[in-house]
Structure 1
């Protein structure tokens, strides 16, 4: 018999590093979720841009079920068919020539930063170790990645941080030009900052960063953990900008909800991770790769990617209408189905209030910092679910503004 649990059990048995909502979801289908009491929610959160094809997508369920009956795990002293097929698909659809699999975005970034350092030291000597990153960035929760991320609230309080990391203002090309030098091994950025407030890079900034990296023999690393896998309307956001990185990291939506991450790069750069220099016990496991292969096959379809922009426009038009009524947002920004509604100064710090009010009305939204409401729904969310979810969100807005 299945043990009965409830939200209060979280406080009893779990480490208190999260503060989950009062309701406990138990079932999802498409863009709808039901909790223990049977209440239905429209899901605009997507597991933080993870559930790229919604909940219980039949193609993903079939891929997982089929692989579960074959082979779950082998050590990385062996390879497996799903990993080879998925890596081949990623190589075919991106700039990359080589792929490293892991389990999360943090692990993918850890691998990328280690590779960037290793490549630079091998080619240019031990002094070429500086990593330049940007304020308000988020790159993961390992000590290395959280130190590269430009938000001290996540990295302070754990003792001495890894050295050789410089943080600059995002989208400030002059600041980057002044800082970068021949001792810089990599410039690391999210083409569209997620946790930092859904802030896209400018075209000039991305192009300028590429040119400066080329000038100083530094690698350009794009963290596409949140912006990748169709989220912005192209398979990866770098394709929207027309600027190719040297290393790209991906996770979140890659597995459509199954934990998997990957680092993509060129053959020349990859050659500096020789046998034994890096690894991941579960990385490239058959279950994760089989599900990701199915997800990527759907996400990469031109019709699916084209529809993302149409859905973006539908969201933006309605959010602007809500704003016209309630004057609550200073800006609606983002790309594709990663959308941020920045709150006006009078509502600063209240993003979580909107999130909680949304839950009461039956819609799941996110925050991206205290001042931005984040929407990251399924890439294939039906228009009817967008409309119904935004009806519920408007009622939430009315409730918060009225306080």
Structure 2
């Protein structure tokens, strides 16, 4: 008999009932150190007092009005994102998946309005993840996402990750845009080299196609810059964000230049809930904390500490781990053992991690994790490694 919750997840046998900072309490009272942050969502940890205060204050005033009216909290957040980024305009969504849908529509509508309705094709890269909508799975293209869901939305093709030279050859008269994650998350914590991202920007400019960046997982301070593409010194035409921008409250956005967004006029897109007062009140509180030089600098400092300790962990357990990957506090352990064995052993050691492709374990802690908590995290990961090694023997 099918359960009342549709069984599309293989859920761990854990039920968390409370959270505080980087800690979560299981129903049986055990405390777990959270290196998953709800898959890079809880950038300021659980029950952050600043976010709780912002949400509570707004909840006592006004929850929802729809986008038929002006929403002051939305305007404030849009102004902040424009001020802190390449963008001239922002549309708010409820998730990264919704942001992908709009990014695709925006790129195609741009060329339609420019008199080139034939330019509808979008180039992506293998190993990508752009959400689970029809456009998202078509843009990513992996069999794990697409099998059984055909016919797929047409107009998408996929190149080998890191093969920037192939982009030039793949662009045709019908190409509208290239879409890429500066750091692949689900794909196994695979950063695109800064030089490659710069070359990709150059190719798009030379060919006259739009560049769409998916920063749903790697954005909002995760890499030590507000947005990951800043490390390469480039800007996209369109960018998707979500996850961290709401600090745990469902919120996403599409950021774009005035030119790229020029086709999106009144009536071309909408969202009943997107950018509602509750979400934007929390989003403003997140931005007020994360988008400061002091906070971002501390993310990089802690990243160095975490990575140093993880390199020691890998060196101590070469039969379990192969290497450390990633940047900022978006790190991954490439495993020799099965990554799910490491994740499950972590549960026994009361540390939460997230699996990814390429046999990687993702480490995506709240960005305000402390030095002491980083030390405790690595100690628990070591316990997990010892358990996995013993199982192999």
- TM-score, normalised via structure 1 length: 0.95
**1:22 lines up with 2:19 in the alignment:** no
**CA distance in structure 2 between the partners assigned to 1:314 and 1:18 by the alignment:** 33
> C-alpha displacement at 1:55, in angstroms?
0.5
C-alpha distance 11-299 of structure 1, shift in aligned 2 (>3 A): farther
**What's the offset of the Cα at 1:370?**
5.5
Q: Deviations over 1:361-391 (max 9, x none)?
A: 1100111126001000010101111111211
Structure-to-structure mapping, 1:53-132, within 5 angstroms: 53-132=44-123
- 1:223-242 counterparts in 2 under 5 A? 223-242=214-233
* Alignment partners' CA distance in 2, 1:133 and 1:78: 36
1:362 lines up with 2:350 in the alignment: yes
Q: CA deviation at 1:276?
A: 0.9
Deviations 1:81-133, CA, capped at 9 Å, x for gaps = 11010000001100101000010001011100110011012214221111000
1:256 equivalent to 2:247? Answer yes
* In structure 2, C-alpha distance between the alignment counterparts of 1:13 and 1:363, rounded to whole Å: 29
Q: Is the 8 A contact 2:187 2:358 kept in 1?
A: no
Q: In structure 2, which of residues 375, 385, 388 is the aligned counterpart of residue 397 of structure 1?
A: 385
Q: Secondary structure at the match of 1:22?
A: coil
Distance 2:115 2:314 in 1: 53
How far apart, in 2, do the equivalents of 1:11 and 1:21 lie?
Answer: 18
1:353 aligns to what?
Answer: 341
What secondary structure does 1:374 align onto?
strand
Residue of structure 2 aligned with 1:334, choices 326, 340, 355: 326
Gaps of 5+ in 2: none
- Deviation at residue 216 of structure 1 after TM alignment: 1.7
Alignment-derived partner of residue 189 in structure 1: 180
> Deviation of residue 182 (structure 1)?
2.9
Give the corresponding residue for 1:4.
none
Equivalent residue, structure 2, for 1:5: none
Q: After superposition, what is the alpha-carbon deviation per residue over 1:264-323, rounded to whole angstroms, capped at 9, x for unaligned?
A: 001222221111111111001000000010011100111110111111111211111111
User: Is the 1:182–1:217 Cα contact (8 Å) retained in structure 2?
Assistant: no
Alignment partner of 2:197 out of 196, 203, 206: 206
Q: What TM-score, normalized by structure 2, do the two folds share?
A: 0.97
Aligned 8 A contact 2:103 2:238 in 1: yes
The secondary structure found in structure 2 opposite 1:269 is: coil
For 1:253 and 1:226, the matched residues in 2 are separated by: 8
* Alignment deviations for residues 382-401 of structure 1 (CA, whole Å, 9 cap, x no partner): 11111112111100011012
Aligned to 1:42: 33
Query: What CA RMSD, in Å, does the superposition of the two structures yield over aligned residues?
Result: 1.2
Task: Judge conservation of contact 1:351–1:369 (CA < 8 Å) in 2.
Answer: no
Equivalent residue pairs, number: 390
2:256 corresponds to which residue? Answer: 265
Instruction: Describe the SS at the equivalent of 1:357.
Output: helix
- Deviation above 3 Å: which 4+ runs of structure 1? none
Partner of 2:274: 283
1:11 CA drift (Å): 7.3
Secondary structure of the residue aligned to 1:167 is strand
- Where 1:178 maps in the other structure, the secondary structure is helix
Q: Distance in 1 between matches of 2:211 and 2:309?
A: 37
Task: Return the alpha-carbon distance in structure 1 between the equivalents of residues 265 and 230 of structure 2.
Answer: 29
Secondary structure of the equivalent of 1:27?
Answer: strand
SS, match of residue 270 in structure 1: coil
Greater displacement, 120-129 / 70-79: 120-129
